[in-house]
Structure 1
Amino acid sequence: MAKAMRRMVIVGSGAEAIAVASLGAKGGFDVVVVEEDSASAERFAVFLKQVGGEAVQVTAEIGVLKSTEIVVEATDLPQAARMDFHRNLEAQVSGNALICCVDREATLESPLGNCVGLNLAAPAHLRRLAEITPDRQGNCEEAVVLAKELGRKAIICPRDSFLLSASLEQAWYASLEYLQMRGAVPHEIDEALVSEGFAMGPHEAQDLIGTEIAYADRRRRGDDSQLIADRMVEEGRLGKKVGVGWYRYPGGGGAVIDPLVEDLIREEAHFALVEQRSFSDAEIVGFLRQALFEAGRKTGASSELIETVAIHGLGLPPGWINWSDQSGSRNQPGKNSI
């Protein structure tokens, strides 16, 4: 007799919901997405079919939560409303169900004692990392198993710690901006890194994720230091989904260099009184490698763990940085003399 499929119910319809739904369907789960009303459910079902999610059921019936083993909260509600939703979940789901939340901040603030964090690196088809935050009792074993069933490389992130991927990403994006401000344009940086073995340059990858994702994270942290990246978002350059980001995407196709981005960068450098110059590929690569090494060292995590995050969370080629090398410069990112 064939083994019955386990049901996974996803509440929400943002990028994280789409990623989990797609991975769940590929992993052999009976996936159901719950939308707020019938009209929204119909629209989202049409969208899912367009991106290959035909096997995913979409409904507005919240009652499906009672018959599921796994609930994934992936809403884009404001935090207060999100916490209200978490309070209501307890009455809606089985006491044995695994409840996961794709947002770490919401996980930590959740009134649900058994809410586990399930943070997936994006874009999901290029990155395999899943950072698991235990619930209030320290439990996360089921979520680790789930992450592996979704084809992810799972690591556990203690509640009193931080997401390792976030620490490295913040240093990565800040270093990219530092180079841009001084004259290295996005396609030059991407080309230099692709020649180093990267599957995709960081700017093209950010266009796939959506430039507004990192922007929202900066707003939450009160970080207004990335003038170029912020202006990109504020001018509507949100990435491939809207046809323009760090690159242009004519007809929804591949990335095309956009001279307007270079003009924008030059303007911001002028306003900031920063002198620009040309950079060699070796200078670009050397600066980014050193900046990320310093960020990794500051986390205090083991070199093995940082390497896992770098490969599966940021898309770095294996061994691109020797994280255990303590002979490197102690200069802070942004202070290197380039």
Structure 2
Amino acid sequence: MTEYVDLERHGELAPRQVSAMAVIGAGTMGTGIAITGLDADLEVTLLEQDAAALQRGANRVREHYARRVGAGKMSTDRAAECQSRLHATTDWNALAPIDLVIEAVFEDLTVKREVFARLDKIAKPGAILATNTSYLDVDAIAAATSRPRDVVGLHFFSPANVMRLVEVVRGAATAPDVLVTAVEVAKRLGKLPVVTGNAFGFVGNRIFSAYRRQCEFMLEEGAMPEQVDAALEAFGFAMGPFAVADLSGLDIAWRMRQSQAAIRDPAARYVRIPDMLCEAGRLGRKTGSGYYLYEDGAGKARGQPDARVHELVNSASANKGIVRRSLGADEIKRRALLAMVNEAAMVLAEGVAQRASDVDVVLLNGYGFPRTEGGPVTWARQRGADALRTDLEWLAQVSGPGFVQGDPRHVLEESA
């Protein structure tokens, strides 16, 4: 179980001074993080490896402020003042005086370790080195430096300048004052920080992965993507899991699954449908097709059900000898939500989340859980202890090999 720093007990700790921050990586995420710093009146250095990528990032920042001014949400003077504090560069030495450096590069452990090893040689003593990884091991990243005490996770959600949630990930060696500073900086950036332990996917992505995996089980058993999405949108999600996957890009989760392949239990149930879509070049909206077909390519129009996906899903079931059946909206909703609750119970048991209420905060603010339902923990508590235990036993039965059932007491009782 992860041992937490009690932020209230450490309230007497002075946070480290942060007047300037840097972002490594000028992609969509990196520029979004940079904008949050500029809006918070910080000096922001944006670093990229080549001039062309840097220019694209700087253009994103400039276009953002132009849109704000054009929409009447920001004055021309304020936009100009924010942009005057952006320092775009390809020179790593520009990071030497920076108080807080946030890495926002490709989600690959080797790449991130290389960045931190290089950063270790340049950043000043006492600088906070943060990784924006969404699921990788923060300790493995910190081990690439000679100062793991200064390393922390700051997992922003895309678009970073819009989404409020930030998971503040405490590594095994993260110093208490670094954790306190990270929380304070997140608040200064206008974000809602939730402290998590260092475990695969942290709180949000781990629970959302269990939710999406259960929905994939239901594809194998008889549902189609549009049926699953419709059931969960009727519950209150703005988008169902397969529409979300298409929006974010199917290749992101595919890379994550590939990185975990060596340690996956070979006896555990594994649905190949998402892999098959990726292998066919269907990576979501950006390629014009994923679970759905996007006739306007990568445009914003909602995707349409695709007969080719239906054929692929049916063949995947047949290959496993699964006799498909009809799944109603109530079963789809129940299984998807129970999968979230079950994973939340394990996240709490392992200390990855400090409080049961933190799970609701993360899912409400980062994953579109319906606010009217209060979050998966609140939803679970409304079912009652006996019903929830019975529900999770049923979920284990229908989920098949490899499913680990959590103890519902962890979501029914608030943690200290």
**TM-score normalised by the chain length of structure 2:** 0.71
Label 1:308 to 1:337 Cα distance change in 2 as closer, same or farther (>3 A): same
Q: Using the TM superposition, give the Cα deviation of residue 125 of structure 1 relative to its aligned residue in structure 2, in angstroms.
A: 7.2
Is 1:204 matched up with 2:235? no
Deviations 1:28-84 (A, max 9, x none): 444332111223323444455566699465321223212433211122285345324
Residue 45 of structure 2 aligns to a residue whose secondary structure is strand
Write out per-residue CA displacement over residues 214-236 of structure 1, whole angstroms, 9 at most, x where no aligned residue: 22222222248231111122222
Instruction: Report whether the alignment pairs 1:221 with 2:260.
Output: yes
Identity %: 24
Does 2:314 correspond to 1:284? Answer: no
CA distance in 1, matches of 2:166, 2:380: 20
Instruction: List alignment gaps of at least 5 residues for structure 2.
Output: 1-17, 68-82, 401-416
Other-structure match for 1:331 = 393
Which residue does 1:119 correspond to in 2?
A: 155
Q: Does 1:89 align with 2:119?
A: yes
Task: Please show how residues 30-49 of structure 1 align to structure 2 within 5 Å.
Answer: 30-46=43-59
Match of 1:265 among 273, 290, 313: 313
Q: Which amino acid aligns with 2:322?
A: V
CA distance in 1, matches of 2:199, 2:193: 18
Q: 1:275 aligns with which of 305, 312, 323?
A: 323
What does residue range 114-193 of structure 1 map to in structure 2 within 5 Å?
Answer: 114-122=150-158, 124=160, 128-135=164-171, 136-139=173-176, 140-159=179-198, 163-193=202-232
Q: CA deviation at 1:267?
A: 1.8
Question: Which deviates more, 192-201 or 90-99?
Answer: 90-99
- CA separation of 1:127 and 1:47: change in aligned 2, threshold 3 A: closer
The change in CA–CA distance for 1:52 and 1:162 in structure 2 (over 3 A counts) is same
Cα displacement (A) at 1:162: 6.8
Paired residue secondary structure (2:325): coil
Which moved further from structure 2: 53-62 or 258-267?
53-62
Matches within 5 A, 1:19-34: 19-34=32-47
| Mapped contact 2:207–2:344 kept (Cα < 8 A) | yes
Structure exhibiting the larger radius of gyration computed from Cα positions: 2
Distance 1:90 1:285 in 2: 47
Aligned partners of 2:166 and 2:192 also within 8 Å: yes
Deviation for aligned residue 1:7: 3.3
Q: Aligned partners of 1:271, 1:22: CA distance in 2, in Å?
A: 48
Shift of 1:87: 2.6
Q: Aligned equivalents of 1:205 and 1:53: distance in 2?
A: 28
Larger CA deviation: 205-214 vs 244-253: 244-253
| TM-score (norm: length of structure 1) | 0.85
The residue identity in structure 1 corresponding to 2:362 is V
AA of the residue aligned to 1:105: L
Count, aligned residues:
334
Deviation of the 1:10 alpha carbon: 1.0
